[in-house]
Every structure is written in C-alpha cells, then in structure tokens.
C-alpha cells in the first residue's frame, strides 16, 4: 500500500504549486490572479484537505458523490466545491445542493436532470462542458464537433448555466506532447465564445493536472485541477 504523505507536506506542496502557477502565468504575460487552482481530492482524507485549505486552497473537486457528501459534512462551505467526475443522472440531486461548479457535463439528459433539480431548489447550477479532446474511447466527454450543439441545447434550459469547458487530454509522459490538445481546446473555447450564445458565459477553461498544468496555463487554461502534486500519491 502507498503511504500517504503528512499534512505538513501537503501544505508545503500546495505553496510550491501556487508559486509554479504564478511563475508560469507571469512568464506568458498573464495575471496569476485569473487562474483558479482546484484541489483534486478524490481518496484524500479530510485532515489533508484541511491542511491545504489552511494555507490558501479555496476550491476542491471531487469525483464520487458519496465520498464528496461525507467530506462536505466536515468541511462545509469553507471552500467552493466542484464536481469533476462522471456524474450519473440519478445522483444529480445530491450534487446541486452543495457544488458550485459541475465540470463534467457531457450529455443533454444530465443537463435536463440538473436543470430540474436546481430549479426546484430555486437556484442556478453552473456547469462546464467536458470535451473528449483526444477522442479516446475510455474517456467521458462530448466529441469536440458536438460541443457547440450541446451548449446551444443546454442554454435553453432553466436553472443551469454553461460557464466554459473542461477536458482530460490523453496521458503523455512528456507534457509537451499534450500541448496540441490544449491548443485545440483553446480554439474550441474561442469559437464558442465568438458564437455569443444567449445565456452562456465562456468564463472558465479547465485543463491541466499535476504533470501538465504548466503547459496548460501557457496555452490559456484559467482553471487547473491538481491532485498528486499537492496531496501525494493516491491510495
Ligand atoms: C484525479 C483528477 C485530477 C487530478 O489528477 P492529478 O494527476 O493527480 O493531478 C484532475 N481532474 C480530474 C477529472 C481527476 O479525476
């Protein structure tokens, strides 16, 4: 079994990541303040999550509904909660209660369910459309060619608002090899922005994980989702 790292190490790692994000942003002439770091906290215990919050982590992303609900009990609204995993429609009702941003919208039927549930609660749920930018069979997400059509359909629903795009590109041992996928995402993002779809705000481009977030920021990401680099290897 992999030994989990200590809470003090988590705090130190988080600060390193913040510094790297800032350096990278400045290097390409961007304001570091416009970049949100989302801690990817699947399988990370509450103690370690709190250690990162104590040194400035403001956003966390969970992949599994039960796990997220359990952690929400003890962390509450000390951070903004994101949902970054595949979401089954029958669990949408739990997620709209406490998540601020669902980053994994990949189909209209899920949007319809989220819309219904959010509307019942008298709120609006913000979502990112997940794009399968590498066309991988093993990954969720809408094909790039269908993204705009999905967004136009979601834009017509009440209680749900598209705020941008998210992707998990193919894994490459050299992060330079991921750059073309990040570029394609940025092009798609800009194309949708130019379409000026009523009710859609293209505010967030969520891409970049522990081993490739610097390249993602260079290519225009303003939201990065970081797990291992902050919390160490997962169980
Ligand atoms: C686990 C996960 C991450 C973070 O992965 P790391 O490589 O550990 O940084 C980011 N996004 C999603 C959707 C994830 O499931």
Residue-wise pLDDT tens digits, 127-158 = 999 999 999 999 999 999 999 999 999 999 99
8 A C-beta contact, residue 98 and residue 81: yes
Residue 198 lies in a domain: yes
8 A C-beta contact, residue 124 and residue 145: no
Residue 183 lies in a domain: yes
Q: Which of 44, 97, 47, 87 has its CA nearest to residue 63?
A: 87
Q: How many domains are there within the chain?
A: 1
Mutate to test the pocket of ligand 1, among 225, 226, 229, 234 (most ligand atoms within 8 A of CB): 225
Specify the pLDDT at position 195: 98
Residue 1 lies in a domain: no
Residue 134 lies in a domain: yes
Q: What residue numbers bound the domain in which 22 lies?
A: 7-231
* Cβ of 42 below 6 Å from ligand 1: yes
Specify the pLDDT at position 3: 67
* Cβ of 210 below 6 Å from ligand 1: yes
Residue 2 lies in a domain: no
Residue 70 lies in a domain: yes
Query: Closest ligand 1 atom, CA of 63?
Result: 15
pLDDT tens digits, 29-71 = 999 999 999 999 999 999 999 999 999 999 999 999 999 999 9
Instruction: Look up the pTM and report it.
Output: 0.97
Residue 49 lies in a domain: yes
Q: In the predicted model, what is the mean pLDDT of residues 95-104?
A: 98
Q: How far apart are the first and last CA of the chain?
A: 7
The domain that holds 38 is classified in CATH as 3.20.20.10
Whose alpha carbon is nearest atom 12 of ligand 1?
A: 84
Q: Buried (b) or exposed (e) across 44-59, using 16+ Cβ within 10 A?
A: beeebbbbbbeeebeb
């Amino acid at each position: 079994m992999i030994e989990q790292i200590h809470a003090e190490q988590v705090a130190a790692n988080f600060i390193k990541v913040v510094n790297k994000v800032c350096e990278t942003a400045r290097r390409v002439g961007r304001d570091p303040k416009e970049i949100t770091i989302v801690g990817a906290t699947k399988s990370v215990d509450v103690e370690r999550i709190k250690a990162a919050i104590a040194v400035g982590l403001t956003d966390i992303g969970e992949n599994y509904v039960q796990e997220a609900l359990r952690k929400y009990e003890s962390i509450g609204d000390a951070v903004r909660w994101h949902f970054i995993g595949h979401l089954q429609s029958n669990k949408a009702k739990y997620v709209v209660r406490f998540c601020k941003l669902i980053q994994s919208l990949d189909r209209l039927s899920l949007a319809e369910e989220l819309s219904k549930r959010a509307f019942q609660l008298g709120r609006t749920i913000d979502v990112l459309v997940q794009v399968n930018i590498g066309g991988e069979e093993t990954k969720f997400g809408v094909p790039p060619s269908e993204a705009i059509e999905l967004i136009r359909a979601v834009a017509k629903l009440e209680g749900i608002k598209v705020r941008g795009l998210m992707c998990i590109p193919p894994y490459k041992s050299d992060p330079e090899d991921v750059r073309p996928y990040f570029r394609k995402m940025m092009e798609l993002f800009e194309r949708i922005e130019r379409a000026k779809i009523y009710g859609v705000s293209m505010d967030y481009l969520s891409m970049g994980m522990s081993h490739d977030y610097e390249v993602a920021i260079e290519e225009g990401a303003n939201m990065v989702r970081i797990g291992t680099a902050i919390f160490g290897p997962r169980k």
